[in-house]
Chain A
Amino acid sequence: MSSSKLLKGSLATIVLRLLEEQEKMYGYEITQKVKQLTEGEFKITEGALYPTLHKLEAEGYLTTETQLVDGRVRKYYSLTKEGNAEAKAKVSELEEFLANLQKVLNPKLGLG
């Protein structure tokens, strides 16, 4: 499995986590933030990001607001109350998964 496939499976968690920290962000900003945080290792494609954002919005985890920036309409996403709870749940679920994965991949570390 390529790293992009692994990333795609965790995309909703990444988006929720970023919005938990940043309060509100727009699509392009999210792609750049991930790129910056991972020093270019993770590249989120727009083809994967926007469906995730729209799905989370439809599920009620994200809410949107628009602002006029340089004469054009910019759509900002932010977490709803349910989104905040989902972000916490998703992050802890992923952390738990990574810890267990670590135990399988490197049993010696797990014993310590």
Chain B
Amino acid sequence: MITKDEQHTIEQYLKTIGINTMEFFEEMYDHICTSFENRKDKSQGIDAHIRDVVQPSFGGVNGIIKIRDQRTKARIRLVRKRFGQIFISYFLGWPNVLITFGVILGCWTLSQLFGIKTLITISSICFIFIPLTFFFGKWIQFWRKCKKAGKVYRTSEVYQIFTPFMALALQVPNMTIQSWNMFADKDIYGSLFIHPEICIPLSIIMLISFFTLSKLYKEEFIIKTSFN
């Protein structure tokens, strides 16, 4: 069995070399612990084991960093591909028909009932503030869980991968609002029905991106904290 001090040394080693996401940290940590427990020379200390056995087999610190980066890249590539597949299947399928119908009907009905100002406020809350709050809320929740469990890391690679997608998806509502603004002579609330040929397609893309992200989140981004 491995002592508390030895565990601490391994944790600090991984932290120092920049392994700070749950998935890769836990895998490396278990690997080093198992390797140390099964060492041939039982008189060998943890520092010497890391220096003489672990580091050479990984190709040094740079080798470990390279594995981490390759892993993240492979996962981003996979998620990007999946994002494209879901987006196209929604865009060329029934969801697009329903969304287009819903956007036109929803915009018309809501603007007639409550006015364009309320319509834009509701859209902003639904498609910008709620996803952002959900994303950061989950992140903070995870951060607190790690802190409570006394873990050295504070994030998951899920958040690292999801952040660029989140930023990309938020650009669509941003563009929609900017185009409303641009086509209405600085009157953000007036252009939706003056230039529907711009605003309706952008709103549809925005909604398809939103539904794509929510499906992707369910498929790929469910975080399992296996330490508690």
Query: Which residues of A line the B interface, CB within 8 A?
Result: 26-28, 32, 45-47, 50-51, 54-55, 57-59, 66-70, 72-75
Contact = CB atoms under 8 A, between A and B. Distances in A.
A45 B67 contact: no
B106 interface: no
A68 B182 CA distance: 56
A37 B71 CA distance: 28
Contacts of B2: 70
A74 B27 CA distance: 7
A97 B201 CA distance: 54
Contacts of A45: 57-59
A51 B30 contact: no
B29 A46 contact: no
Interface residues of B, number: 28
Contacts of A55: 70, 74
A28 B31 contact: yes
Which of B23, B30, B38, B59: most chain A Cβ within 10 A? Answer: B30
Interface string B203-228: 00000000000000000000010110
B34 interface: yes
15 contacts: A27-B31, A28-B31, A28-B35, A45-B57, A45-B59, A46-B31, A46-B54, A47-B67, A50-B71, A51-B67, A54-B67, A58-B78, A66-B226, A70-B2, A72-B29
Contact of A72 (B33, B59, B70): B33
B228 to A, nearest CB: 9
Contacts of A51: 66-67, 70-71
A67 B27 CA distance: 11
A70 to B, nearest CB: 7
A54 B35 contact: no
Interface in B49-94: 54, 57-59, 63, 66-67, 70-71, 74-75, 77-78
A28 B34 contact: yes
